[in-house]
Amino acid sequence: MTNLIYFHWMRPLKILLAGAFVSASIVSPGSGEVWANSDNNKIATAIQTLKQSDQRWIQINLSKQNLIAWEGSNPVYAITISSGKRSTPTRIGTFKIQTKLKKTRMRGRGYDVANVPHTMYYQGGYAIHGAYWHNRFGTPVSHGCVNLAPNHAKWVFDWADVGTPVVVQK
């Protein structure tokens, strides 16, 4: 397979890889007990497991507003996204692509958009999809979905199958 990584992602990718396994812990001053941040630990464990496989998977980093398509430990495609705005955030966690639709209509409070291209639902109404109605990639502006430029959405749609793991992290 041809490597389609955009070279301007190479430096941030190294930082991403270095920080992928960092998790936070909270120490209770009264008892000395340590509680691990379970979401961060689950995400870190999922990433570590996926990198040790040869499986295709998608990593979405909300703080960097990027999506990386992986085959095991090899990144094969990296792009800028637009995730959910503060009032309608994108959920973090580990998911799997449940449904793929070449085009669909999306409706919700304050929006009704026809012909949304290359939509991949991964949890309830949350999806990775093309967004032809804006060009603000790199900025959280969606209603919780992961927006991609239509040409990038097509690439990811064609590459991923139903069941492909999706890891969304802060």
Q: For residue range 152-163, list pLDDT tens digits in order.
A: 999 999 999 999
Which pairing describes strands 74-80 and 66-71: parallel, antiparallel, or unpaired? antiparallel
pLDDT for 37 equals: 62
Q: Which residues are catalytic?
A: 129, 145
What's this model's pTM, rounded to 2 decimal places?
0.79
Please check the confidence at residue 5 and state whether its pLDDT lies above 50: no
Please check the confidence at residue 76 and state whether its pLDDT lies above 80: yes
The DSSP line for 122-169 is: EETTEEEEE-SS---TTS--BSSSEEE-HHHHHHHHHH--TT-EEEEE
**CATH code for 31-168?**
2.40.440.10
Strand partners, 150: none
Strand partners, 80: 66
Q: For residue range 25-61, list pLDDT tens digits in order.
A: 333 344 333 334 678 899 999 999 999 999 999 999 9
